[in-house]
Amino acid sequence: MTKVLLVAEHDGAQLNLATAKALSCATQIGETDVVVFCDGANAVCDAAAKLSGAQRILKVSRSENAKPLAAVFAPQIAEMAADYTHILVPSTTFGKDIQPRVAALLGAPQVSDIMSVEGPRKFKRPIYAGNVIVTIDVPEAAKVVGTVRTASFKAADGGASAEVVNVSVDTDLPTHTRYIALEAHASERPDLQSANRVVSGGRGVGSAENFALIYSLADKIGAAAGASRAAVDAGYVPNDMQVGQTGKIIAPDLYIAVGISGAIQHLTGIKDAGTIVAINKDGEAPIFGVADLGLVGDLFAIVPELEKQLG
Amino acid sequence: MKIIVCIKRVIDYNVRVQINREGDGVVTDGVKMSVNPFDEIAVEEALRIRERGEAEEVIAVSVGTSQSQQQLRTALAMGADRAILIETDDDMQPLVVARVFQKLVEREKPGLVLMGKQAIDDDANQTGQMLAALWNRPQATSASKLELTGDSARATREVDAGLEVIEFDLPAVVTTDLRLNEPRFVKMPDIMKAKRKPMETIALSELSIDLPTQLAQSNYEPPPERQAGRIVDSVEELVAALREKGVV
Ligand SMILES: Cc1cc2nc3c(=O)[nH]c(=O)nc-3n(C[C@H](O)[C@H](O)[C@H](O)COP(=O)(O)OP(=O)(O)OC[C@H]3O[C@@H](n4cnc5c(N)ncnc54)[C@H](O)[C@@H]3O)c2cc1C
Ligand SMILES: Nc1ncnc2c1ncn2[C@@H]1O[C@H](COP(=O)(O)O)[C@@H](O)[C@H]1O
């Protein structure tokens, strides 16, 4: 029988929305338990218990689990895997760090970035920066170990009330890796990965100061702010704003790309967006090849005007 | 201390990848091949560590066909001291590659293994973590900063929430993110010099690897196309169109 174990992502206080999205994938496969590795974190377990589709919430609370270290979580997940046919985790930097370690401990191949479930052991996933979609069959001999491309799934609804069960996993844990700090850049804006609207700026924006233009438009329409890699590399914005193959893969209802040329590595991050708007002074920019609405011109004139007219 | 750097031969990132007629792979004939961009960053980082006097030797390794020698030569031209090719014509998925690297690590006993966070062909983002697990050593993935301090190291990792700092004992596996460094350009004399550097070739079969189950991959297809929409002439028209779609 198919039994799925989904590893929840959280920061100790809040359940990450990626978990609810990955749960939608998991429940398409079979009955799913959600495991929360934590030190306390009752609020996180309660939030997970509300997600519809989860059978049980397994709480593995021990001091070593206070921070997400792959070398610490992986042996515990591998130990719990005995009772499951499938182990899933969201394909976020959290999941990408942990899951291959689990796969190696289990001697199983890993399916990265599951974008659709074609059968209990059959999935589709993107390769070559999303330019090719390939169908994967996991042989019967192996456990299914995978990461879920969250932009491909809608978040599971709330309103349920699954049971929270305390589970102890007695595995020796390594001490060779120590968590020091997280430098999160505080932002009042919506979270890039779950926002319905995103305004992104590229190299064309020209400077960190000029990004005020992007933030201002974003705030006007309640959007998250994103960026191209070029804008991050140039130091205009922090790394956590990068959208694309090696940044965040997002699927907002509205994506406004400002001064972004539209390299394939960027486009792969926004393929599932509802409406894409491009503002670029170069009418030949590849971004116009995917944009639903394009406006050719100088962003420094267009963006303030757009903000004004949206008022 | 020795550093092992893992180099994968991949289709150059500027190439528009084409699916073959059979739909069971992509076209590679006559296509430009390169060192995986993240691996070039790994080589650069290893060289900088050696140039700071914190390592003595940089060994570039690759698992693949004999043609991967070209990419190993690039690493040697950049400054790696020697290269090892584990030769095979078979499709190599991350768990197999990690088992190969585990053998090499047992043989070479490096203080650090540097590799890319992901190969831009399979976009798997697995091999480094798998090696770390098999080797039972620490990992620092998606590193954008790395400092060695004797027996341990400190890395800044690019994570979704920002920048995470971890400290770990050596030996360890570190995978590179794009902002770790900017790889140097290879100069002509270095290419000539690289031809005389040692390159060892080992057949995969000689390593007696326990071959794990591999995933079956089929039905290569293009992603659903997004149609280009329309170009509007003014901000007014843009706002009207957005309102009509109900997205603002
Ligand atoms: C392995 C690898 C992974 C990568 N991963 C990513 C990724 O995850 N995300 C990502 O974004 N990139 C990624 N890249 C980089 C990518 O290839 C491009 O270099 C990058 O996306 C370009 O960013 P850009 O569009 O902001 O800059 P550019 O390509 O320089 O484009 C700037 C645009 O701004 C326009 N512009 C300039 N001034 C104005 C103005 N006043 N008004 C209006 N328009 C203006 C220009 O016409 C131009 O089109 C990756 C590359 C590699 C090799
Ligand atoms: N066949 C290979 N030969 C050498 N290095 C590899 C190979 N496959 C993967 N790697 C290394 O592992 C990293 C991650 O690859 P992947 O897990 O396939 O995304 C790459 O950036 C390389 O450094």
B149-153: average pLDDT: 95
A141-160: average pLDDT: 95
> What are A55-104's pLDDT values in tens digits?
999 999 999 999 999 999 999 999 999 999 999 999 999 999 999 999 99
Whether residue A110 sits in one domain with residue A7? yes
- Asked if the Cβ–Cβ distance from A181 to B164 is below 8 Å, we say yes
Closest-lying ligand 1 atom to the alpha carbon of residue A202: 26
Cβ atoms of residues B126 and A112 within 8 Å: yes
**Residue A80: domain span:** 3-166
- Asked if the Cβ–Cβ distance from A101 to B158 is below 8 Å, we say no
Assigned domain for A18 exists: yes
Assigned domain for A185 exists: no
Whether residue A16 sits in one domain with residue A125? yes
> What are A234-248's pLDDT values in tens digits?
999 999 999 998 899
Whether residue A153 sits in one domain with residue A16? yes
> What are A96-110's pLDDT values in tens digits?
999 999 999 999 999
CA of B57 to the centre of ligand 1 (A): 36
CA of A46 to the centre of ligand 1 (A): 41
CATH number at A59 reads 3.40.50.620
Q: In 3-state terms, what secondary structure has residue B92?
A: coil
Query: What CATH number is given for B2-215 in this structure?
Result: 3.40.50.620
Query: Model confidence at B225, in pLDDT bands (50, 70, 90)?
Result: confident
* Contact residues on chain A for B27, CB-CB shorter than 8 A: none
CA of A204 to the centre of ligand 1 (A): 8
> Does the pLDDT of residue A302 top 90, yes or no?
yes
Whether residue A154 sits in one domain with residue A214? no
What is the share, in percent, of chain A residues with pLDDT greater than 90?
95
Query: Model confidence at A217, in pLDDT bands (50, 70, 90)?
Result: very high
How near does any CA of chain A get to the CA of B75, in Å?
A: 23
Give the pLDDT of residue A15.
96
Query: Which ipTM did the prediction report?
Result: 0.95
Query: Model confidence at B227, in pLDDT bands (50, 70, 90)?
Result: confident
> What are B97-140's pLDDT values in tens digits?
999 999 999 999 999 999 999 999 999 999 999 999 999 999 99
Q: How many domains does chain A have?
A: 2
Assigned domain for A111 exists: yes
A233 touches B: beta carbon within 8 Å: yes
> Does the pLDDT of residue A188 top 90, yes or no?
no
> Does the pLDDT of residue A194 top 90, yes or no?
no
> Which of A166, A187, A206 delimits the end of a domain?
A166
Alpha-carbon gap, residue B40 to B134, rounded angstroms: 24
Assigned domain for A48 exists: yes
Alpha-carbon gap, residue B62 to B75, rounded angstroms: 11
Whether residue A15 sits in one domain with residue A119? yes
Assigned domain for A53 exists: yes
User: Judged by CB atoms within 8 Å, which residues 192-221 of B form the interface with A?
Assistant: 212-221
| Residue B81: closest CA among B116, B110, B118, B120 | B110
> Does the pLDDT of residue B228 top 90, yes or no?
no
- Ligand 1 neighbours, Cβ below 6 Å, are A 202-204, 228-231, 242-247, 259-261, 263, 265-266, 269, 280-282, 285, 298-300; B 13, 37, 120
Give the pLDDT of residue A246.
87
Rg (CA), chain A: 21
Query: Model confidence at B191, in pLDDT bands (50, 70, 90)?
Result: very high
| Residue A103: closest CA among B245, B200, B3, B124 | B124
What are B173's strand-pairing partners?
B113, B139
- This prediction has a pTM of 0.95
A146 touches B: beta carbon within 8 Å: no
| Residue A292: closest CA among B234, B230, B233, B223 | B230
Give the pLDDT of residue B152.
97
- What CA–CA distances, in Å, run from A227 to A245, A253, A270, B133, B240? 13, 17, 12, 34, 25
User: Judged by CB atoms within 8 Å, which residues 70-89 of B form the interface with A?
Assistant: none
Alpha-carbon gap, residue A63 to A78, rounded angstroms: 19
Whether residue A29 sits in one domain with residue A158? yes
- Asked if the Cβ–Cβ distance from B178 to A233 is below 8 Å, we say yes
